[in-house]
Amino acid sequence: MIGEGAVRTGLRHPQQPARLRLALEQARSHLKRRALELAGFLLVTYVVLKLVPAFEQALHALETASWEWIVALLAVEVLSEVGFVFAWGRIVDPDGLLAGQGGRRMDQHVAWMQLGGGLVLPGGTWGGMGAGGVILHRFGMTTEVIAERQFNLSFLNTCIDALALVVFGVGLATGAFSGEANLLLTLLPAAVAGGAVVAVALLAPRLAGYAERLRAKHAKVAATLATLSAAVGDTKRLFHRGAWTPILGAVTYLALEVTVLWLSFRAVHADPVPAFPIVVMAYIIGALGGSIPLPASAGTIGGVAGMLIVYGVAHQAALPAVLLHQAIGLLVPVIGGAIAYAVIRRRLGPMHLGDAKT
């Protein structure tokens, strides 16, 4: 991996405590924005459900949701995020550099802070460096290495999403799974996802050479292509070398995230509850709506709820279930990120203004 020497050298920098405290201040702003996003989401959701008559039934379903199921959803969501944390540690900090400098489980705390910052989004959506990247950079890891490893993690999650579409799409199309037989909603998404994975895998080795030829005139495009090529190569090596820990973490992250959505239907007393394969297909495809820059996670909510309705789920059940799932998905990372922030601050000791400016 490029930049390994720079990473090790930077992690021994004598000013690391002061630099890390500055990073924590920046990370705290990420957590505050995430908390405000959660508050905004709840407010907008309430106002919309109150003002739009067609949504009154959805609001009633949320008001009467089972607290027992909500507690279970929170527990499953925590396990889902733990899957992400393990995958993050094995890909973004594979050598345990954070733990070596910051103490035991430092990589896990930083991963939780990144989740709390909300810049690496569920469902395989591309994210930025986020709060975790800020901490890594302040430890001395170069921006190039951070970006490459974060991209690797996002690419792995995207590959898992694509493989899930293939497995469940083909399963539904062939009748192995019950729930939907329309080939446009089953085999077509599976073919598109599978074709994309194969195309990227075949083209990736050639992208590095093409990027070098473009570097002089189009540096940003060249960097993007080179990063994609490296991410594909690193992901292939994970499978070939049997490095199952990050793969298992990514699979756990997706599987339990979808499980939270599926169980949300039970929490809002939906009858019937859609089949799990349908929820998988609708979640992965609909989550692409999160790429649209809309407030209060409206893109993700509209995308997932819309796809569930396309797959035959009643809108009276789809909307409250998706809203509950989204609220749980915002609440757990914010709390987990805040706890991780407090733990790291406690390890560093009191922070003085002069330290932060160092």
Say which residue the tokens 């409250």 belong to.
320
Answer yes or no: is 348 within a domain: yes
Q: What percent of the chain has pLDDT over 90?
A: 23
Q: What is the mean pLDDT of residues 97-105?
A: 69
| Structure tokens belonging to residue 123 | 């469902």
The region of weakest confidence among 38-47, 108-117, 175-184 is: 38-47
Per the model's pLDDT, the better-predicted residue between 54 and 192 turns out to be 192
The span from the first CA to the last CA of the chain, in angstroms, equals 30
DSSP letters for 39-67: HHHHHHHHHHHHH-GGGHHHHHHHHT--H
Find out whether 135 and 10 touch, Cβ atoms under 8 Å. no
Q: What is the mean pLDDT of residues 70-77?
A: 94
For residue 293, pLDDT over 70 is answered with no
CA distance 63 to 287: 25
Answer yes or no: is 324 within a domain: yes
CA distance 177 to 167: 10
Q: Which domain holds residue 106?
A: 33-356
Q: How many residues does the chain have?
A: 358
| Residues 202, 122, 315, 262, Cα dihedral to 10° | 100
Answer yes or no: is 16 within a domain: no
Answer yes or no: is 186 within a domain: yes
The model's pTM is 0.76
Answer yes or no: is 11 within a domain: no
Condensed to tens digits (0 to 9), the pLDDT of residues 110-164 reads: 888 778 765 333 333 333 345 666 677 777 777 777 777 887 888 888 889 999 9
Q: What is the mean pLDDT of residues 81-107?
A: 79
* Residue 224 DSSP code: H
Helix, strand or coil for residue 259? helix
pLDDT of residue 28: 60
According to the 3-state scheme, what is the secondary structure of 133-197?
HHHHHHHCCCHHHHHHHHHHHHHHHHHHHHHHHHHHHHHHHHCCCCCCCCCCCCHHHHHHHHHHH
Answer yes or no: is 172 within a domain: yes
Task: Give just the sign of the alpha carbon dihedral 129, 204, 252, 186.
Answer: positive
| Structure tokens belonging to residue 173 | 């199309």
* Residue 217 DSSP code: T
Find all residues with CB under 8 Å of 172, minimum gap 6, and list them. 179, 180, 181, 185, 186, 277, 278, 281
Answer yes or no: is 340 within a domain: yes
Band of the pLDDT at 204, cuts 50, 70, 90? confident
Most confident range (mean pLDDT) of 212-216, 272-276, 330-334 is 272-276
Domain count, the chain: 1
Per the model's pLDDT, the better-predicted residue between 312 and 133 turns out to be 312
Cis peptide before 272 (omega within 30 of 0): yes
The region of weakest confidence among 61-65, 112-116, 292-296, 313-317 is: 292-296
pLDDT of residue 117: 66
CA distance 47 to 52: 8
For residue 76, pLDDT over 60 is answered with yes
Closest CA to 173 of 193, 189, 151: 189
Band of the pLDDT at 32, cuts 50, 70, 90? low
Q: What is the mean pLDDT of residues 43-63?
A: 60
Mean pLDDT rounded to a whole number for the chain: 75
Find out whether 152 and 231 touch, Cβ atoms under 8 Å. yes
Answer yes or no: is 13 within a domain: no
Per the model's pLDDT, the better-predicted residue between 120 and 217 turns out to be 217
Phi then psi for 271, rounded to 5 degrees?
-145, 110
Find out whether 278 and 165 touch, Cβ atoms under 8 Å. no
